[in-house]
Amino acid sequence: MDIKNLQQIMQLSTQLQSRMAEVQERLERQTHAVTSGGGLVEATVDGKGTMVGVRIDPAAVDPADVEMLEDLVLAAVSQAQKRAREAMEAEMRQATGGMPLPGLGSLFGS
């Protein structure tokens, strides 16, 4: 490998690092809110899938059926995290021109 090729590789690496930093900043600003139970429960996660909020309609609170509320919360959180993961994957594909990056799944425990 000659110096010119090495310089091109280094330049591409620097550009990719810059794009990845931009993607990370956009992800930090994004939020994804999902409802379940016809809007009784809403979960909000950031662009990295970390839960940042939950809203529970008082009508969803039935002391005789706590399990239903637990299921609604779990469904909303899971869907919000899925949306965040899909958005992150799309951002990364765009930033890398479709080039796969090892370890990306670890951001969401995949």
Residue 106 lies in a domain: no
Residue 60 lies in a domain: yes
Residue 72 lies in a domain: yes
- Tens of pLDDT, residues 58-74: 999 999 999 999 999 99
Structural domain of 32: 3-96
Residue 107 lies in a domain: no
CATH assignment at residue 78: 3.30.1310.10
Residue 109 lies in a domain: no
- Cβ-in-10-Å burial (0-12, 13-18, 19+) of 95 comes to buried
What is the tally of structural domains in the chain?
A: 1
The C-alpha torsion from 54 through 59 and 60 to 65, rounded to 10°, is 150
Residue 101 lies in a domain: no
- Tens of pLDDT, residues 18-53: 888 888 888 888 999 999 999 999 999 999 899 999
Q: Work out the pLDDT band at 83, boundaries 50, 70, 90.
A: very high
